């Protein structure tokens, strides 16, 4: 097998489910699930995922470009690697999801919804991570990078979302994120049902959701926008030199969450509102019945505004930018 993406999109498992070349051995675990193990000893175990949302194609294309030389034996592998295309059915349909947004169902939250294929897929992904991390040696460093694109355009074309983590973030991990040319990092202050929160909370992995541009169909992505991310990933996978850090990302923290509960919900932002748009204190952001959401700080920035989410889900996050002193404490 030399094209992981096409094999996954075909919906048919490969005739040969495991193999090796001069650098590594690979194993197809299930649809969109592939592990690669180098022949030489390594100090790092990496989960690299994309396609959790089926309409977010740029990260999937980037991932496949990185995987192909490994499977062809053209590049060495410097980490023990689990590669995941999260929602193959949604990828084939070009839709964000079929029935449920699986990036809200991790950490056992899949048990709270109907027994549909997407809930079953989350359980399968949790089990795959459990098996992968269980095979870790004590000295192995655990990272999880989950590649996404945003529904809307953004003032920061490339940014990362960091899950709640009671422990300091590893310095090497933060350096890698800066070298990948992320323009901003957003730090959660509460738990969530995302893939990266699950890997951080349950498996002590340094994890980040990387948001790379705007969601577009296969073949319509300008991958040159993400050359820095691709180069940093190549350095991580192949053991090559990491690019120099040109500029440190700006840091934001989540100040409040806007939640849609029912049909009366109104978000006072148009479809043209970009991620990281700033609003002054007192601005009415959304309302639903007697509930109203206002900007509480002197200035807050919106992230992921979406009035069409299912009831009970996040319709937007409001952020505040952290100063240098607060950033140092967060690190």
- 4-238 placed in CATH 3.40.50.740: no
Annotated ligand binding at 126? The verdict is no
Second CATH level (architecture) for the domain 252-330 = Beta Barrel (2.40)
Q: How many whole angstroms separate alpha carbon 280 and alpha carbon 105? A: 33
Taking alpha carbons only, the member of 253, 256, 254, 258 closest to residue 313 is 258
Q: Where in the chain is the domain with CATH 3.40.630.10?
A: 4-238
Q: Mind listing the pLDDT tens digit for each residue in 272-291? A: 999 999 999 999 999 999 99
Q: Mind listing the pLDDT tens digit for each residue in 95-141? A: 988 889 999 999 988 888 888 899 999 999 999 999 998 886 667 89
How sure is the predictor about 328, in pLDDT bands with cuts at 50, 70 and 90? very low
Annotated ligand binding at 56? The verdict is yes
Q: Quick check: is 31 catalytic? A: no
Q: Mind listing the pLDDT tens digit for each residue in 88-104? A: 999 999 898 888 999 99
How sure is the predictor about 329, in pLDDT bands with cuts at 50, 70 and 90? very low
Catalytic-labelled residue, pool 118, 126, 201, 211: 211
Taking alpha carbons only, the member of 277, 218, 229, 270 closest to residue 252 is 277
How sure is the predictor about 155, in pLDDT bands with cuts at 50, 70 and 90? very high
Q: Where in the chain is the domain with CATH 2.40.50.630?
A: 252-330
The reply to whether the predicted model has a pTM over 0.85 is yes
């Amino acid at each position: 097998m030399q094209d992981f993406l096409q094999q996954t999109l075909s919906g048919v498992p490969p005739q040969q489910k495991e193999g090796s070349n001069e650098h590594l051995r690979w194993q197809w675990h299930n649809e969109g699930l592939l592990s690669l193990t180098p022949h030489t000893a390594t100090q790092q175990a990496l989960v690299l995922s994309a396609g959790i949302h089926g309409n977010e194609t740029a990260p999937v294309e980037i991932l496949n470009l990185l995987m192909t030389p490994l499977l062809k034996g053209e590049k060495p592998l410097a980490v023990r690697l689990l590669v995941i295309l999260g929602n193959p059915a949604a990828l084939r349909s070009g839709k964000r999801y079929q029935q449920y947004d699986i990036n809200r169902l991790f950490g056992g939250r899949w048990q709270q919804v109907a027994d549909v294929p997407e809930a079953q897929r989350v359980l399968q992904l949790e089990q795959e991570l459990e098996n992968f991390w269980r095979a870790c040696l004590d000295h192995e460093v655990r990272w999880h990078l989950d590649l996404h694109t945003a529904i809307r355009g953004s003032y920061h074309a490339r940014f990362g979302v960091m899950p709640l983590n009671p422990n300091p973030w590893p310095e090497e991990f933060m350096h890698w994120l800066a070298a990948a040319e992320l323009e901003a990092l957003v730090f959660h202050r509460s738990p969530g049902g995302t893939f990266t929160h699950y890997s951080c909370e349950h498996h002590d992995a340094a994890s980040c959701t990387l948001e790379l541009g705007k969601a577009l169909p296969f073949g319509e992505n300008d991958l040159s926008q993400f050359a820095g991310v691709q180069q940093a990933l190549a350095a991580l996978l192949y053991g090559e030199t990491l690019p120099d850090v040109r500029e440190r990302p700006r840091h934001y923290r989540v100040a409040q969450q806007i939640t849609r509960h029912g049909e009366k919900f109104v978000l006072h932002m148009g479809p043209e509102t970009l991620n990281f748009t700033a609003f002054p204190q007192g601005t009415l952001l959304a309302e639903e019945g007697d509930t109203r959401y206002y900007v509480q700080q002197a200035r807050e920035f919106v992230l992921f505004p979406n009035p069409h989410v299912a009831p009970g889900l996040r319709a937007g996050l409001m952020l505040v930018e952290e100063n240098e002193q607060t950033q140092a404490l967060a690190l």
